[in-house]
Structure 1
Amino acid sequence: MNIEYLNKEGIFFMRFTKKKLMSAVLGTGVALAVLGVNGADVSAQDDEHPIFNYEDFPKTVSNDAEPSGEGELRIAYSSDAPFEGTFNWAFYTNVVDSRIMGYFDESVFTIDENQMFTQEGAMQFDIDEEERTVTFTLQEGVLWHDGVEATIHDYVASYEVIGHPDYEGVRGSTLGFSLLEGFNEYRDGEADEISGIEVIDDYTAVFHYEEIIPSLLSGGFWAYLFPTHHYEGLEVGEIAESDLTRQTPIGIGPYQVSSISPGESVTYERFDDYWRGTPSMDGIVLEIVSPSTVATAMQNNDYHYTIAFPVNQFPDVAEIEGVEWLANMSSVLSYVGFKLGEWDDEAGEVDYKPEEMKMGDIELRRAMWHAIDNETVAERFYNGLRWEGTTLLPPYYASYFDETIESPEYSPEIAEEILDEAGYEYDGDYRLTPEGEELEISMAFIGGSDVAEALANYYIQSWRNVGLNVSLYNDRMLEFNAFYDMVDEDAEGIDIYQGSWAYGSDADPAHFYGRGARNNYPRYASEANDELLEKINSPEAFDNEYRTELFYEWQELMREEMPVIPILYGSGVHPVSTDVVNFTVEYGFNEETALYNIGLVEEEE
């Protein structure tokens, strides 16, 4: 499937009961240690624990028949949490909502396999580096689902909403916004409009920038229209919670929303006036399905496709009849974050104050990294479909990923030495702070998947093995949406948390670690970080060799300062029923596998 959505947040988590842990991790099935599991080559580490490589799987379905033009694609979204249901690109906060939106509202830009914007979408752009302008031209005849024609005013409105003083969402902190002339003054309430936006006609606008930077071409332009007429009469502060967003959202995609069961399911129907052409199916049904039952549901042919299929379950269900398994590297990085400050709403930036925070001592953080064995976690919990993380930039960005950086050696002995030398002395079973006070570390962790509880127990026990008293925040796993609310609000009592990011098309680390980024959940900042992030998006960084060097320097800086421990990179495995055609997990836009061309065929008896 080739859906153009540019999400910047996301998470994949898994939970395991203790009872199931040993059987799943150590006894995944002798029969799978063979070659050729539904198109994927399998290399076995041992007979009881097969190891897979995503590169051995196909990325596009093998069925090359013509779609019938009929039928309803049934999609399972594997999650133990209901979806939040904020179906507007300017206001959503998690990857589940973004995936749901991707079926009815699409980006106006397409991207290539290198995550760079191309000119095949509904919007074209022309950059004048000398004048520091970008001219955007929207195709005529692009219709909203209520039949109203989209105009360039709907694109301008996205910037006006995100920059509005009453806007409380998480967008607008990146240079793609702040370098737009007049955007900061508008956001601060000092101007009634964004002076850098010049509307030429109903389909054309010129944006004036203070600088033209590399990230504009890989996610720096806002990628979605805002249906101005749909929200007529609503104030900006009312949009996110309105029924127009949660019950009757509209878009410009090939399918339109026909009904929503809050938190549970969305039904879509074909939009015959889609600007690219007639969609190849009657509709789509997407339902939230528990990770514990989603494999069985696929086996029973209840669904054609599963989003976020739990990779740890793959060995047990690899031989499902009527299913083809696709795989590709994902942009996901899972990590342990340390709370090193708080968010300053008034200043609109991070208040970094490690000297006041429990996890502010870098030696404590360094010891905690040495104490965990992420390589074994990847193999035993995920059968090689996750692998050890080394830097905060995933290998998904092949041009910028520094493969020479290694994780600290897994060694509880080294961890103990570091803690001893830093003055964390034992008092009974656990260590005290260097000041002689009790050290209790509270960790927030999302529950709801097949291995989350076991992972949490593993990390907690690993740290306890070196004398650190770590326990779950409020002694329980957290629901997905509640977790992110608490982490975002810097809830009192959370010292560390285990999260994940699904990166979008732009590799710019400022989205997650910039001083002014609300998504900077560790609340980390430094002058060295500020300087590198600024250079990464300087005009000079159009020289890709120079920009690559800067990315390498930034990854090394994060390796040294450790506001976050990278845990795992990963790949997704995607079960797709064999009656689905024109479906791919390849990166970049391809007309043949675009959403409107995905279809169903009648399988032969």
Structure 2
Amino acid sequence: MNNRSIIRVLALLLFVAMLLSACGGTGAPDNRSGNEPSSLATGNGGEPRAGGTVTYGFPSPFKGLFEPAFYEGEDDLRVLEFITEPLFTVKDDLTTVPGIASWQESADHKTFTFKIKQGVHWQNGDELTVEDWKFALEVIAAPNYTGPRYYSVEMIEGADAYHTGKAKQISGIRVIDPYTMELKVTAARVNTIDNLWAYPMNKRYFAGVAVKDMPNSDQVRTAPIGIGPFQVTNIQPGEFVEMSRFDNYYKGKPLLDGVLYKVFDDKMITSLFEQGVIDIEQAPRDAYENLNKLDNITLMQSPDLSYEYIGFKFGHWDDKAQKIVMDNPKFSDKRLRQAMYYALDRQGIIDGFSYGLGKLAETPISSESWAKIPEDQINRYPYDPEKANELLDEAGYKDLDGDGLREDPKGAKLVIHFDSMVGGVNDEPRTEAMLQNWRDVGLDVRLNGGALKEMNTFYTMVEEDDPSVELFNGVWGLSNDPDPTGLWRENDLWNYPRWSSKENEQLIRDGISLKAYDRDYRKQVYYDWQKLINEEVPMIFFAERETITAVNKRLQGVKINALSPIIDPYKWWIKDSE
């Protein structure tokens, strides 16, 4: 995958955002008092009415890259979700279906014919055509494109030649008429549509702007346009974005007059909601308890497309061969790995440090996905110190000198070094709780270097396979498609545990093979893959993250899911004060 370093930054930002949200895991919320979190909030306020402006809060200054091809973080994404849309729709179960664009696929799955709806307009009045989509694909494939999304066009026939400057056009794209486009890909893949770039760019609006200059252009920074329900009217860099209703929105005139996207200090989030200054914001977990006491808000909860894990280091990355080498025998006995899973009181840690917000995870596929295996088909690794002790005894890890700590099967002192990152106020006591769980079953697990690490230091050591890194606590974000390519193959740099097996490689290939066009076949492949991961335990899956969104009760029509807290904002409306 190209632009690894840029995308890695996004992964790190995701981890930091989650750690700052009280550094907790995930699980069922503790609702002993106050509001009951839900995934579909405000809908009991009577008949929708037009008018009014709402304020969407965000906790840090935004970068201001208001074009999907160039944005790098959630700060800019939240604005984009108000002002523009992709051509495809991703449903709550994370399947991709037609939206503005529909498609037909050839028998060999290598040619796609797309049709877009007529009458969809840009906020400058231009009608959307396939030329705008073709233009976006060309921008991302351009040799001087500096954004992180080349991977979403590289499957197109001729994209590589265009990207390397060997061709002046992308041979696999053909415009048939203003609303129809043919696209050829290099190979049949069942998830082509999931991975294909689906956001258009207004070709006429960007005329004369070189691709290398686009990120700093007025079209991106000060006067962005889209095809969504709200249009930008004013930007104060890093502070706020004012948006007004786009009356010619293709789904219908939005109910709100406008939206103010504004940066606030998260330390003041409770008082700001109490005063009615903010109408909606994703809330940090350490604000949950106080927000839950407010009568004027609804707390909404949804799973993130991410999971927290504790990875074992099985080896290192061979940069010359571009593949992993499993040469660390320390964790070769899966009974040790399974015992460490059983020894960890994940739910207790979630309840103790994250107000119970979230859900335990046992596999790296989202619980929202159609490919998630039913829990009764896998081992859920409940907190069971007795089982952990049995496995360790069986594997030959025994306390030979009576100090309460186990030696390895060869009789040598066993010390395991653990790494995690500095983040929120609870991360140190939370880490200590994990270490104590393992000490309770006789495992001497110590914080590597005696302290948590700064984010960049942590990820540099993990990615470069620093010899001192043995056990590490991280977070990975997920796409809507369950294909684990990129994180779990032997030739994936981001396979940080450096683990794989022949069965793992084969199942990943099977999941995107021609046979996988049969959804039932593909689902069974991913069930089998999850069973393998669940049994082998290359990492301990700690929890599936949960997002808490606070919404003022005056704001109605808000829906959230694993993808976003901003879904169909043209349906949002304000009810009269009671």
The reply to whether TM is greater than 0.5 is: yes
Query: Structure 2: how far apart are the matches of 1:363 and 1:519?
Result: 25
2:255 corresponds, among 280, 293, 299, to: 280
Query: Structure 1: how far apart are the matches of 2:205 and 2:399?
Result: 62
- C-alpha deviation, 1:580, in angstroms: 1.3
2:183 corresponds, among 201, 204, 207, to: 207
In structure 1, the residue matched to 2:170 is: 194
In structure 2, the residue matched to 1:576 is: 551
In structure 2, the residue matched to 1:46 is: none
In structure 2, the CA distance between the partners of 1:33 and 1:277, relative to structure 1 (3 Å rule), is closer
Asked whether the equivalents of residues 122 and 128 of structure 2 are also in contact (C-alpha less than 8 Å), the reply is: yes
- C-alpha deviation, 1:567, in angstroms: 0.8
The within-5 A match list for 1:490-529 is 490=464, 496-510=471-485, 512-514=487-489, 520-522=495-497, 524-529=499-504
Moved more, 450-459 or 198-207: 450-459
Asked whether the equivalents of residues 428 and 452 of structure 2 are also in contact (C-alpha less than 8 Å), the reply is: no
Secondary structure (helix, strand or coil) at the match of 2:195 reads coil
- TM value normalised by structure 1: 0.76
User: Does 1:128 find its partner at 2:106?
Assistant: yes
In structure 2, the residue matched to 1:392 is: 364
Secondary structure (helix, strand or coil) at the match of 1:513 reads coil
- C-alpha deviation, 1:168, in angstroms: 5.8
In structure 1, the residue matched to 2:297 is: 323
In structure 2, the CA distance between the partners of 1:570 and 1:97, relative to structure 1 (3 Å rule), is same
In structure 1, the residue matched to 2:5 is: none
- C-alpha deviation, 1:390, in angstroms: 1.2
Identity of aligned residues (%): 26
The within-5 A match list for 1:223-238 is 223-228=198-203
**Per-residue Cα deviation, 1:63-92 (whole angstroms, up to 9, x for no partner):** 233233232x11223x5x655554443344
- C-alpha deviation, 1:161, in angstroms: 3.9
In structure 2, the CA distance between the partners of 1:356 and 1:467, relative to structure 1 (3 Å rule), is closer
**Alignment-mate amino acid for residue 205 of structure 1:** M
The within-5 A match list for 1:405-420 is 405-411=378-384
**Per-residue Cα deviation, 1:87-136 (whole angstroms, up to 9, x for no partner):** 443344444443332122211222334333333x3323233335742112
User: Does 1:380 find its partner at 2:385?
Assistant: no
Asked whether the equivalents of residues 185 and 191 of structure 1 are also in contact (C-alpha less than 8 Å), the reply is: yes
In structure 2, the residue matched to 1:138 is: 116
User: Does 1:351 find its partner at 2:326?
Assistant: no
The within-5 A match list for 1:40-59 is 40=36, 59=41
2:431 corresponds, among 436, 456, 464, to: 456
Secondary structure (helix, strand or coil) at the match of 2:420 reads strand
In structure 2, the CA distance between the partners of 1:189 and 1:244, relative to structure 1 (3 Å rule), is same
Query: Structure 1: how far apart are the matches of 2:536 and 2:163?
Result: 32
In structure 2, the CA distance between the partners of 1:525 and 1:131, relative to structure 1 (3 Å rule), is closer
The within-5 A match list for 1:247-258 is 248-258=223-233
Query: Structure 2: how far apart are the matches of 1:254 and 1:289?
Result: 24
**Per-residue Cα deviation, 1:438-480 (whole angstroms, up to 9, x for no partner):** 96735232514x544433333344446544453267934546x
User: Does 1:335 find its partner at 2:312?
Assistant: no
In structure 2, the CA distance between the partners of 1:432 and 1:33, relative to structure 1 (3 Å rule), is closer
User: Does 1:597 find its partner at 2:571?
Assistant: yes
In structure 2, the residue matched to 1:181 is: 157
Query: Structure 1: how far apart are the matches of 2:422 and 2:174?
Result: 45
In structure 1, the residue matched to 2:4 is: none
RMSD: 4.4
Query: Structure 1: how far apart are the matches of 2:523 and 2:367?
Result: 13
Query: Structure 2: how far apart are the matches of 1:164 and 1:547?
Result: 34
**Alignment-mate amino acid for residue 128 of structure 1:** S
In structure 2, the CA distance between the partners of 1:405 and 1:82, relative to structure 1 (3 Å rule), is farther
**Alignment-mate amino acid for residue 222 of structure 1:** W
**Alignment-mate amino acid for residue 406 of structure 1:** N
In structure 2, the CA distance between the partners of 1:227 and 1:97, relative to structure 1 (3 Å rule), is same
In structure 2, the CA distance between the partners of 1:486 and 1:515, relative to structure 1 (3 Å rule), is same
2:18 corresponds, among 13, 22, 36, to: 13
**Alignment-mate amino acid for residue 327 of structure 2:** E
- C-alpha deviation, 1:235, in angstroms: 5.8
- C-alpha deviation, 1:270, in angstroms: 3.1
The within-5 A match list for 1:139-158 is 139-158=117-136
Query: Structure 2: how far apart are the matches of 1:192 and 1:343?
Result: 36
In structure 2, the residue matched to 1:470 is: 446
User: Does 1:441 find its partner at 2:417?
Assistant: yes
- C-alpha deviation, 1:374, in angstroms: 0.8
Asked whether the equivalents of residues 141 and 154 of structure 2 are also in contact (C-alpha less than 8 Å), the reply is: no
- C-alpha deviation, 1:16, in angstroms: 8.9
Asked whether the equivalents of residues 339 and 357 of structure 1 are also in contact (C-alpha less than 8 Å), the reply is: no
Moved more, 126-135 or 434-443: 434-443
**Alignment-mate amino acid for residue 410 of structure 1:** Y
Query: Structure 1: how far apart are the matches of 2:177 and 2:153?
Result: 22
User: Does 1:117 find its partner at 2:93?
Assistant: no
Asked whether the equivalents of residues 199 and 206 of structure 1 are also in contact (C-alpha less than 8 Å), the reply is: yes
Asked whether the equivalents of residues 249 and 257 of structure 1 are also in contact (C-alpha less than 8 Å), the reply is: yes
Asked whether the equivalents of residues 245 and 254 of structure 2 are also in contact (C-alpha less than 8 Å), the reply is: yes
Asked whether the equivalents of residues 371 and 527 of structure 2 are also in contact (C-alpha less than 8 Å), the reply is: no
In structure 2, the residue matched to 1:555 is: 530
- C-alpha deviation, 1:355, in angstroms: 1.4
- C-alpha deviation, 1:170, in angstroms: 4.5
**Per-residue Cα deviation, 1:253-297 (whole angstroms, up to 9, x for no partner):** 222334455555443333344343433323222334454432332
In structure 2, the CA distance between the partners of 1:222 and 1:101, relative to structure 1 (3 Å rule), is same
Asked whether the equivalents of residues 308 and 544 of structure 2 are also in contact (C-alpha less than 8 Å), the reply is: yes
Query: Structure 2: how far apart are the matches of 1:331 and 1:588?
Result: 7
Asked whether the equivalents of residues 362 and 542 of structure 2 are also in contact (C-alpha less than 8 Å), the reply is: yes
The within-5 A match list for 1:231-270 is 239=214, 245=220, 248-261=223-236, 263-270=238-245
**Alignment-mate amino acid for residue 138 of structure 1:** I
- TM value normalised by structure 2: 0.79
Query: Structure 2: how far apart are the matches of 1:238 and 1:357?
Result: 50
In structure 2, the CA distance between the partners of 1:476 and 1:484, relative to structure 1 (3 Å rule), is closer
- C-alpha deviation, 1:501, in angstroms: 3.9
User: Does 1:160 find its partner at 2:142?
Assistant: no
**Alignment-mate amino acid for residue 531 of structure 1:** Q
Aligned pair count reads 556
User: Does 1:89 find its partner at 2:94?
Assistant: no
Asked whether the equivalents of residues 61 and 324 of structure 1 are also in contact (C-alpha less than 8 Å), the reply is: no
**Alignment-mate amino acid for residue 571 of structure 2:** N
Secondary structure (helix, strand or coil) at the match of 1:445 reads coil
In structure 2, the residue matched to 1:68 is: 50
Query: Structure 2: how far apart are the matches of 1:262 and 1:151?
Result: 31
Query: Structure 2: how far apart are the matches of 1:136 and 1:373?
Result: 50
Secondary structure (helix, strand or coil) at the match of 1:355 reads coil
- C-alpha deviation, 1:304, in angstroms: 0.8
**Per-residue Cα deviation, 1:562-589 (whole angstroms, up to 9, x for no partner):** 3432111254443221221222236899
Query: Structure 1: how far apart are the matches of 2:85 and 2:457?
Result: 28
- C-alpha deviation, 1:336, in angstroms: 2.4
- C-alpha deviation, 1:388, in angstroms: 1.7
Asked whether the equivalents of residues 61 and 580 of structure 1 are also in contact (C-alpha less than 8 Å), the reply is: no
Secondary structure (helix, strand or coil) at the match of 1:154 reads helix
